[in-house]
Amino acid sequence: MQLEQHYLGAMVYEILSVAIAITLATSVYICIRWRNLECKGPTPLSLLAFSAILFTSGLDVGLIMFPLVEFPVYAAEEQYSFTNPLAIEFGFWGFLVWGFYFLTTFYFCVIEPKIGLFQIKPIRLINSGIVIATCAFTAYLFLSYVPSYIDGITPSQQYLLVGCIIFIAVLSSTDIRYVKGLSLTSSLLFLLLTLAMLSASGASTEAYLDSMANLSGYFENIHRFVSPVSDYHGWYLFWWFAWSIMIGQFVARFVSGLKTWQLLGALLVIPSIAIGLWFTTLYYYFSNAIPVAEILRGAMVALGVIFVINSIDSLIRLYTDNLNLDVQRLGRTKYILGNWLLMATLVLLYQFTPLKIEWVGLLVIGLYAVIYILLFKHRKELRESFSAS
């Protein structure tokens, strides 16, 4: 698989860098200002269930399949030479980028119920459009890269597979119990696959820890990841921005009384541990030129499919709730058919038009700016609500 290159203007990258800096600075401010404030959503779950939903809803097939393809690129290209490929890969997926999700989770858990900015009709419609577009991009990304995962698959089989994935995701979204169950199951399968891959590699404990030690290269260079280190990294960051508001909306409802600093720690650390263990395992394969057995490659594809379903069902659940287009209102048949047609149509638009996830990311940054301005205008009301709570 050849990695797609993404080139955007310098001004766009400046906007992206400023947005990242403001977002992360706000997260730090929130954690200091409301360190011990209890955060609790309307449907609180145990920390285990919350972590599973966060992990599987906030990631997709790229986590499973991209590293083995991207490691050689990061090892060969000069722009990534400041550290090792494992540290680069982790920097693109882990730790700091989850600060975006903390900010939005805190907002929707604590601030939005007090002020209701996302109930303003234009904001609600724009937000729903962002969720729909990003949801479809998840399916499109799988469609684009599936030939690299499944040898010999034909174009018609690609479309059929993606159509089936969307259909299953729509079905799963009809009941939150399905979303929760699928998240817990896929998290367990992810752990089992990591252990199976590690066992098959023949790595000793010492060798695996030596491979893991390369993650320190990320923390030693963490400041470099605040702005794009390459065009490809910029594409990733726009992708995370596109995800950030909707992931915050979705997972905020499941927060179960965590204090602000605990919520930040949970979002930064828990997913990053799983990502770090998985990437370390794959990096051991790469650095030792170990071929992945066919059965394990098949397991990776299967888990990747489940991750795609997890992501899509969470997002469908979110935008249908936001637009009050749930199963109860539409009926099961209309709900399933309507959402399937919507997702399938948008996947084709990504495939056959210039539509890009970077546009969605820029729209999210614009929405962030609007929310910041409105929060400033409502600062007195917010102060009073926090004083009363």
pLDDT in tens, 148-202: 777 788 889 989 999 999 999 898 888 767 666 767 777 788 889 999 999 999 9
Tally of structural domains, the chain: 1
> Within a domain: residue 116?
yes
Q: What is the pLDDT of residue 80?
A: 95
- CB-count burial class (<10 Å; 0-12, 13-18, 19+) for 205: exposed
> Within a domain: residue 5?
no
> Within a domain: residue 243?
yes
> Within a domain: residue 4?
no
Residues of the chain with pLDDT under 70: 1-9, 56-61, 176, 178-180, 182, 388-389
Q: What is the pLDDT of residue 120?
A: 92
Assess contact for 215 and 86: CB atoms under 8 A.
Answer: yes
Rounded Cα distance, 255 and 120, in Å: 24
**Coil vs helix vs strand at 40:** strand
Q: What is the pLDDT of residue 81?
A: 94
Rounded Cα distance, 384 and 382, in Å: 5
DSSP state letters, 266-310: HHHHHHHHHHHHHHHHHHHHHHTTPPPPHHHHHHHHHHHHHHHHH
> Within a domain: residue 333?
yes
CATH of the domain at 130: 1.10.4160
Domain assignment of residue 20, given as a range? 10-388
> Within a domain: residue 139?
yes
Q: What is the pLDDT of residue 3?
A: 47
> Within a domain: residue 85?
yes
The pTM of the full predicted model, rounded to 2 decimals, is: 0.84
Assess contact for 80 and 74: CB atoms under 8 A.
Answer: yes
Rounded Cα distance, 76 and 56, in Å: 31
> Within a domain: residue 258?
yes
- CB-count burial class (<10 Å; 0-12, 13-18, 19+) for 10: exposed
Rounded Cα distance, 380 and 180, in Å: 38
